[in-house]
Amino acid sequence: MSFEPLHGLSTPELVAQRIREALLDGTLRPGDRLIEADIAAELGVSRGPVREGIRLLGAEGLVVLRRNRGAVITSPTFEDVLEVYILRLSLGLLALNHAMQLDVASAPEFADVELLLARLRDPEVQEDPLLMMEADLHFQSALFDLCGLSRITAVLDQTARDIPVFVKVLGITYDDVDHAALIERHQRLIEAVRTRHRADADHAWREHVRCTVGEFARGYPDAQVEGIFDLPLMHHVYDHHEYQG
């Protein structure tokens, strides 16, 4: 491993972020051990923040504690992917609904979201899978931020940090994604928010989640995709977010 020092910013969140970055650049792989003393020495921090950072990653399902091996990078299961997107589906619906209640289309931040959507159309961005993924997640995050509900957006941001790790570990790239279809879904979503059409916003976000889960399912040959949105929890989410427009 080769971590850049934290230069005194020895918080568990930053330690966890450095480990995520090591996963994304291939320095760490599923099955690798995380040795507190080694990581602490490379980051220039004490072992306490490293231990807490590893616990944060454990709570996210990226690390498991195994007898005689300690903390080990785990490979995400399809259930891990589903859990992240169940959260993104339900909290995304709440955020979008609240944003429309606030009539955010007239806010300066809404124009910023439109610029982020335009970035997804940039040919240079589309040619780089990493830039495309970052631009996509940045657009979604900015759109959800319009709701002004900090606790909800904090959880959405946390789940967004898991997505690049899933993409890396599963070998999925944005080269595999239909860019035109992705942008069209986001365009319909932002138009629904602009016009405060709740049914359209609900449908556009559900469709995006459904398509994204389908992309991830390709990394799991035994994944059962059909009927996946008929899970009881999904019914619970939908029953509380049926909009009439």
Domain membership flag for residue 3 = no
Q: Are residues 51 and 168 in the same domain?
A: no
Domain-terminating residue out of 48, 73, 98: 73
Residues 57 and 178 in one domain: no
**Is 1 within the bounds of a domain?**
no
Tell me, yes or no, whether 139 and 177 share the same domain: yes
Residue 102 main-chain phi, psi, to 5 deg: -80, -10
| Dihedral Cα 128, 190, 142, 178, nearest 10 deg | -20
The owner of tokens 């320095």 is: 27
Question: Does residue 129 lie in a domain region?
Answer: yes
Q: Is residue 84 part of a domain?
A: yes
User: Exposure pattern of 119-149 as b/e (b: 16+ CB <10 Å)?
Assistant: bbeeeebbeebebbbebbeebbebbbbbbeb
Question: Is there a single domain that holds both residue 24 and residue 100?
Answer: no
Q: How far is CA 88 from CA 20, 38, 213, in A?
A: 20, 35, 11
Q: Are residues 60 and 87 in the same domain?
A: no
Give residue-wise pLDDT tens across range 128-167. Answer: 988 999 999 999 999 999 999 999 999 999 899 889 888 8
Mark which of 33, 54, 73 sits at the end of a domain.
73
**Has residue 2 been placed in a domain?**
no
Please indicate, yes or no, whether residues 16 and 55 belong to a single structural domain of this protein.
yes
**CATH code: domain of residue 138:** 1.20.120.530
Check pLDDT > 80 for residue 118.
yes
Shared domain check, 32 and 132: no
Query: Is residue 20 domain-shared with residue 50, that is, in the same domain?
Result: yes
CATH number reported for the structural domain that contains residue 38 in this entry: 1.10.10.10
Q: Which of 151, 158, 171 is nearest to 20 (CA)?
A: 158
Q: Which domain holds residue 37?
A: 12-73
- 19-35 pLDDT per residue, tens: 888 888 888 888 899 99
Q: What is the pLDDT of residue 208?
A: 93
68-91 pLDDT, tens digit per residue, is: 778 898 888 888 888 899 899 999
37 assigned to some structural domain: yes
User: What does the DSSP 8-state code read for residue 175?
Assistant: T
Residues 124 and 216 in one domain: yes
Q: Are 174 and 154 part of one and the same domain?
A: yes
pLDDT tier for residue 245 given thresholds of 50, 70 and 90? very low
Instruction: State pLDDT tens for residues 182-197.
Output: 999 999 999 999 999 9
Do 69 and 184 share a structural domain? no
Mean pLDDT of the residues in the chain: 84
Residue 41 within any structural domain of the chain? yes
Kindly state whether residue 210 falls inside one of the protein's structural domains: yes
Total domains, the chain: 2
Q: Which residue among 32, 53, 73 closes a domain?
A: 73
Residues 148 and 219 in one domain: yes
